[in-house]
Amino acid sequence: MRTLSTLLIALVALGGCGSSGSTWTKAGVTEQEQKRDTMDCLDQARTMLAGPQGPRPTVDQDRYRGCMANRGYTMGAGTK
């Protein structure tokens, strides 16, 4: 269940990033390391919000961005 909710949050969070044309970059990091760091930061930034239909997962974007920056990533132009 935790994996499913993390995946859903990642898709929602990354969906917004994809439309901006920007991505997180870090010199010398492999794609696998970047994906691991992204998932770790999304997991740390995950929170639940109360709502009329019950609690729903969301990502604290400031916390996510701070986590990625603390790991040495910068926001750069995406590749398309």
- State residue 77's pLDDT score: 72
Task: Give the angle 54-64-72 at the CA atoms, nearest 5°.
Answer: 165
CB atoms within 10 A of CB 73: 20
For 57-76, what is each residue's pLDDT tens digit? 999 999 999 999 999 999 98
Q: Which residue has the higher pLDDT, 27 or 16?
A: 27
- pLDDT, mean over the chain: 82
Tokens of 10: 């990642």
The residues near 9 (Cβ < 8 Å, ≥ 6 apart) are 42, 46, 57, 58, 59
Average pLDDT over residues 45-52: 93
User: Which among 65, 68, 61, 66 is positioned nearest to 46, based on CA atoms?
Assistant: 61
